[in-house]
Amino acid sequence: MFKPMKTSLMAIIVGAVILSTSIVLWLTQEEHEELFLSSIKGHFSSLARNLRSELQPFMETRPMNFAEMEEELSSLVAYEAIEYASIYDDDYNELVFFQGARYDSQKTFPLLEASKPWELGSTQIDGHMVTFERIGPQNFPIGYLVLVNDITQPIVRSKRSLLWQSLPLIIVALVSILLVSFLLINRLLRPLYTLSKFTQEVSESKDYALRYEASHHNEFGKLGDNINSLMDTIEVELTINHEQNQTLIEQQQTMTRLANFDSLTGLPNRQFVMDNLRLELARARRADEDLVLMFFDLDGFKGINDSLGHETGDLILIEVASRVTTLLREGDLVARLGGDEFIILPDRDTSDASVRNMANRVISAFSEPFQLRGLSLTVGVSIGIARATDAGYELSQLMSNADLAMYRSKANGRGTYTIFTLDMVDSHKRKLSIANSIDQSIKHDEFIVYYQPKVDKHGLIIAFEALIRWQHPEFGMIMPSEFIPIAERGGKITSITKWMIEQVAKEMPTIQSLLKRRFRVSVNLSGHDLRHSGLFDMIHDIFDRHMVNPEYIEFEVTESAYLENFALSNKFFRRVGNMGCAISLDDFGTGYSSLSYLTQISIDTLKIDRQFIRELETSERSRLVTGTIIDLAKRLSLTICAEGIENHNQWDYLLEHGCDHVQGYLFSEPVPLDSLPFLPTRFHRRALKSE
C-alpha cells in the first residue's frame, strides 16, 4: 500500500512539536510556581512584620489591649488566603486568635500543631505558608505572631491563569509551525514528485530519449543527474541492442535465403522444394488428390560447361530459370535441385492434358538457341513426370519415379518428356540388377568382344569395330545399348572399358594372324571414360603389356561425348593420336552438328550415323545430309565411314558419293573372335548383289 512520505513526516513533526510544547509548558509552570511562592512568601513576611509593629504597643501596655489586638487581626479579613492568625505571649500562650475564611479546623489546625515549634520567618508546610514572627526585641520578646495562609488554591489559580493566557499563543505557534512545516515539506519533496512523475512517464512511453531537467543543487538534483546518466546508458545499450537485433534479423534473412534459395538463379533450392513437397504430399493425401512432379535436366549441359567454361554454364542456368519461370502459372513452383537439374511442381491441375501441355511448353522454351557471349547455343531438355498416387504419396518414391521417367526421356532421344508408368519400375529393377552385377561379371569373364568388319571401297576388310556383349547368367545375352548407359550412371564404365581394351589387346595377335595386313580395331569410348584422368595411362599400360602397336587401334567416340568433355577429350585424343592411334567421331550428325568445332578437334574419321543410311532410299533429307557430310569430311581431309549398311543400294549410293569405308550387316553382323576366320577377306559388289 502506498503511504505518502508527507503524511509520515507531518506525523513526526506534529508529535515532536506537541512533545516539545508540553515540556516547555511544564517547565514554565514549574518556574511560575517557584516565583509565585517566593512572591507570597515576601508578601506575607512583610504583612507579618507590619502587623508585628502594629501589635507591639498594644502588647506592651499593661494590661494588654486585647481589643486593639483583635482589631488589628480582624484587618486580615481583606486577605482571602489567610486561614488563621494567632498572637502568643512570650510563653506561647495564645492571646488572640483570628479565623480566616479558609480555615478548616479538621485539616489545618492538626497539621500546624504537629509542626510546632515553627521557625522564625515563612515556612511552607504541606500546602500552607506559615509565617512566624517575634513581637518585641530579640532579647526580650513580648510575644509571637503566627500567620497561616493557604497557598494551594492561589497556586492552582495562578497556574491556570498563566495557561489560559499562553494558550492562544501556543495554538498560534503550533498552527504556524505545522503550516510552515507542511509548506516546507511540500517544497522539499516537490523534486521527488517530479522525479517520480518523470520515471513513470518513461516507463509508460518507453521513450528513453527523455531527460530529467534537474534544477536543484541538492540530493534530488544529484538523483536527477544519476537518473539521466542511467537513461544515457539505457539509450546507448538500446541503440547497441537495436543494431545487434537488426544485424541478427539481416543474418537470419540471409541464412533463410541461403538455406532456401539458389544463389545463382534465385529459384527455391532443393531444401525448400523438398520441405514444400513433403507438406504438399501430406495435404494431397488427406484431400485424396493427386500431385504431379516434373523433373528435368539439360541435355549436353556438361559439354557446354567443359568446352565453354562454367561461367557460360552459369549464364545458361540463369536463362533456363528465367525461361521456365515465365511459363508458369500462378501457384506453380519451379526450383533448382542442383547442377542442371530442375523441378516443377504444377499447382492443383494434375490432369494428363494439363501436364502434357506444360511439358510441351517447357520443351518449346528450349527451342530458341541461347544467345550468350556472342554464341548461339542450343540446349535441350529431358523431362520426367511422376504422380503422387503412383508413388503412394512417398516423397523419395515420387522423386525416384520422376528420375526414372526422365532417364527414359534421355534414352528416347532427349528433348522429350516421359510420364512415369508402373512398368518402368520392373525395367528399373532389371537395370538395378544389371548395375549391381557388373563388377562380378568382369571377374567371371561374362563379357565377350564381338567384331564387325569395316570395308573399303574395294570391299577389303580394313578394320573391325570391337563391340561388347554380355552373356548374363540370368538375363542371357545383353546388348551394350542396354547396359552401357547403366554402367555409365553407376560409375562402372571405366572398368568395362579397361576390360574391353585389355581383351582386344589380348586378341589382337589372333586377328593379325588372320588378316595379314594393316588394319585397325576400333574400340568405343564413353563420355565418362574421357572424364577419367587416368585413361591415357591405363591404355598406355595395356598396350605396353600386350605389345600392341597403337597404329592398329582406333578409338570411337560420339560427338556429344567428345563435346561434353571438350578440353579433356582434346587433350586425350591428341596424346593417343601422337601415339599412333586413329580417332573416329561416331554417330555423326545426330548430336551437336554445329560443325564449327570440327576444325578444333583432333579426329581422323567421321562416322555417319546409321539413321541417315537407313533412310537413304526413302528420305531426300537423309540423302542430302549424307552427301553433305561426305563432302564436308573430304574438305576437312577426314576419312568418312558409314555404318548400318544393310543393302546394296545403300553401298552403291555411298560409293558413288565417295564414302571411304562402310560397315553393316550387308557385310557381317558383329561376330565373336572365333567366327572371324569364316569372314571373307574381300566383299565383292557384284557377288554381293547376286546374293
Judged by the rule CB under 6 A, the positions of this chain that interact with ligand C2E are: 452, 467-468, 479-481, 484, 500, 524-526, 556, 586-587, 610, 643-646, 663-665, 670
Residue 250 CB contacts under 8 Å (≥ 6 apart), including other chains? none
DSSP letter at 366 equals: T
Q: Shortest approach of ligand C2E to residue 467 CB, angstroms?
A: 4
- C-alpha–C-alpha distance, residues 624 and 530, integer Å: 32
Q: Are strands 375-377 and 341-345 parallel, antiparallel or unpaired?
A: unpaired
C-alpha angle 583/588/593, rounded to 5°? 115
Question: CB-wise, 389 or 611, nearer to ligand C2E?
Answer: 611
Long-range contacts at 541-549 (CB < 8 A, ≥ 24 apart): 542/498, 542/501, 542/502, 542/505, 543/505, 543/579, 545/505, 546/502, 546/505, 546/506, 546/508, 548/505, 548/508, 549/580
657 binds, among ligand C2E, Mg ion, none (CB under 5 to 8 A by kind): none
With 0-12 / 13-18 / 19 or more C-beta atoms within 10 angstroms meaning exposed / middle / buried, residue 138 is exposed
Question: CB-wise, 83 or 556, nearer to Mg ion?
Answer: 556
- C-alpha–C-alpha distance, residues 242 and 262, integer Å: 30
- C-alpha–C-alpha distance, residues 228 and 211, integer Å: 6
526 binds, among Mg ion, ligand C2E, none (CB under 5 to 8 A by kind): ligand C2E
- C-alpha–C-alpha distance, residues 561 and 299, integer Å: 12
Q: Shortest approach of ligand C2E to residue 669 CB, angstroms?
A: 7
Question: CB-wise, 406 or 523, nearer to Mg ion?
Answer: 523
Q: Shortest approach of ligand C2E to residue 576 CB, angstroms?
A: 15
Question: CB-wise, 268 or 670, nearer to ligand C2E?
Answer: 670
Q: Site residues (CB under 5 A) for Mg ion?
A: 524, 556, 586-587
670 binds, among ligand C2E, Mg ion, none (CB under 5 to 8 A by kind): ligand C2E
Question: CB-wise, 299 or 587, nearer to ligand C2E?
Answer: 587
Q: Shortest approach of ligand C2E to residue 648 CB, angstroms?
A: 13
Question: CB-wise, 26 or 665, nearer to ligand C2E?
Answer: 665
Q: Shortest approach of ligand C2E to residue 646 CB, angstroms?
A: 4
Residues in the chain: 691
Q: Are strands 476-478 and 461-472 parallel, antiparallel or unpaired?
A: antiparallel
Question: CB-wise, 86 or 605, nearer to ligand C2E?
Answer: 605
CA atoms 81, 86, 87, 89: torsion sign? negative
Q: Shortest approach of ligand C2E to residue 476 CB, angstroms?
A: 15
Spell out where 225-300 has E strands.
292-299
515 binds, among Mg ion, ligand C2E, none (CB under 5 to 8 A by kind): none
Question: CB-wise, 86 or 452, nearer to ligand C2E?
Answer: 452
- C-alpha–C-alpha distance, residues 215 and 212, integer Å: 9
Helix (H, G, I), strand (E, B) or coil at 305: helix
Question: CB-wise, 293 or 461, nearer to ligand C2E?
Answer: 461
Question: Biggest alpha carbon distance in the chain?
Answer: 218
Q: Shortest approach of ligand C2E to residue 482 CB, angstroms?
A: 9
Q: Shortest approach of Mg ion to residue 466 CB, angstroms?
A: 9
224 binds, among Mg ion, ligand C2E, none (CB under 5 to 8 A by kind): none
484 binds, among Mg ion, ligand C2E, none (CB under 5 to 8 A by kind): ligand C2E
Number of helices (H), then strands (E), belonging to the chain: the values are: 21, 22
Question: CB-wise, 237 or 445, nearer to ligand C2E?
Answer: 445
- C-alpha–C-alpha distance, residues 354 and 145, integer Å: 150
151 binds, among ligand C2E, Mg ion, none (CB under 5 to 8 A by kind): none
Q: Shortest approach of Mg ion to residue 625 CB, angstroms?
A: 15
605 binds, among ligand C2E, Mg ion, none (CB under 5 to 8 A by kind): none
500 binds, among ligand C2E, Mg ion, none (CB under 5 to 8 A by kind): ligand C2E
Retrieve residue 476's grid coordinates.
Answer: 542371357
- C-alpha–C-alpha distance, residues 488 and 466, integer Å: 18
Spell out where 490-549 has E strands.
520-524
Long-range contacts at 599-603 (CB < 8 A, ≥ 24 apart): 599/636, 600/570, 601/562, 601/569, 601/570, 601/573, 602/570, 602/573, 602/574, 602/577, 603/573, 603/638
Q: Shortest approach of ligand C2E to residue 615 CB, angstroms?
A: 13
Please give the residue whose beta carbon sits closest to Mg ion in the complex: 556
Note whether 647 and 614 are within 8 A (CB): no
Question: CB-wise, 306 or 586, nearer to Mg ion?
Answer: 586
Spell out where 41-169 has E strands.
82-89, 94-99, 121-125, 128-135, 143-150
Q: How far, CA to CA in Å, does 267 sit from each of 251, 300, 319?
A: 20, 22, 12
Q: Shortest approach of Mg ion to residue 525 CB, angstroms?
A: 9
Question: CB-wise, 404 or 463, nearer to Mg ion?
Answer: 463
DSSP letter at 393 equals: T
